[in-house]
Amino acid sequence: MKALAVEGVWKFYGDYAALREVSFEIEPGQCTALLGRNGAGKTTLIRILAGLSRPSRGVVKVFDTDFQNRTTRNRIGILGHGIAIYDELSAYENLRLFASLYGLEKPDSAANHWLERTGLDRVKDSLVREFSRGMRQRLAVARAFLHNPQMLLLDEPFTALDDRAIALLQNLLRDALSEGRTVLMSTHQLREALELATHVVLINRGKLAHRGVRTQEMLDDPGYLYRTYGEA
């Protein structure tokens, strides 16, 4: 079983192809960094994987089922650009809402568990509107992990986070990987992401430029990957 299979995916905006024949696979338990410059098609691909957009051609399969399948989505946790938290609800209400949308049997205990884990249990009944930036980010991380997803889809996870949220996210991702879950995160060149990654996928001008194991060179020299595969 593949955790994720992207098969010949094209995405057109009008006649302009934002993705051209992108294919790759991710085995369960791998942590893949999706790299590419701005405008390379990273966001387009992530949006397709998150079910926010349909590929114009090609197929995306998650755990061997069609990714539009709603039950498959129970197994995916998504942390996107926005924090996807309601300002006018309390921290607890937010987590409870998403716990029941994800069909958890005990949404209350799941919400409480994650409030504790992210250190927000003290303020669980305060409205998110009153939260500091860092607290909101930790809540967003909790929302993505809430339903124990088998696969995590993260869009530029480290760019907007503060230190504490980065530490939290890194710990959670390490735990998830040690439990054999799959992680795919889009990123620029950030060390935090590359340290975790076991594999890399590089997109350049809408095409798959490279995929393979994350090597030591990539970690040592941030420009290495782009110089070797990118500017073709």
For other proteins, the binding residues (CB under 8 A) are 12-16, 39, 47, 50-54, 56, 70-71, 73-74, 76, 78, 80-89, 93, 97-98, 100-103, 127, 143, 205
Which residue, 9 or 218, is less far from other proteins as judged by CB? Answer: 9
| In the complex, minimum distance from the CB of residue 1 to other proteins, in angstroms, rounded to a whole number | 20
Which residue, 193 or 206, is less far from other proteins as judged by CB? Answer: 206
Q: Alpha helix (H) ranges present in the chain?
A: 42-49, 70-73, 91-101, 107-117, 133-145, 163-178, 191-196, 216-220, 224-225
- Mark residue 54 as left, alpha or beta (left: phi above 0; alpha: psi -120 to 50; beta: remaining): beta
CA distance 41 to 102: 29
Which residue, 30 or 72, is less far from other proteins as judged by CB? Answer: 72
Helix (H, G, I), strand (E, B) or coil at 29: coil
Which residue, 87 or 116, is less far from other proteins as judged by CB? Answer: 87
CB of 145 closer than 8 Å to CB of 175: no
Which residue, 155 or 214, is less far from other proteins as judged by CB? Answer: 155
| In the complex, minimum distance from the CB of residue 29 to other proteins, in angstroms, rounded to a whole number | 23
Q: Which of 146, 144, 70 is nearest to 106 (CA)?
A: 146
CB of 118 closer than 8 Å to CB of 142: yes
| In the complex, minimum distance from the CB of residue 219 to other proteins, in angstroms, rounded to a whole number | 28
C-alpha atoms less than 13 angstroms from C-alpha of 223 in its C-beta half-sphere = 2
Which residue, 115 or 146, is less far from other proteins as judged by CB? Answer: 146
C-alpha atoms less than 13 angstroms from C-alpha of 149 in its C-beta half-sphere = 30
CB of 223 closer than 8 Å to CB of 198: no
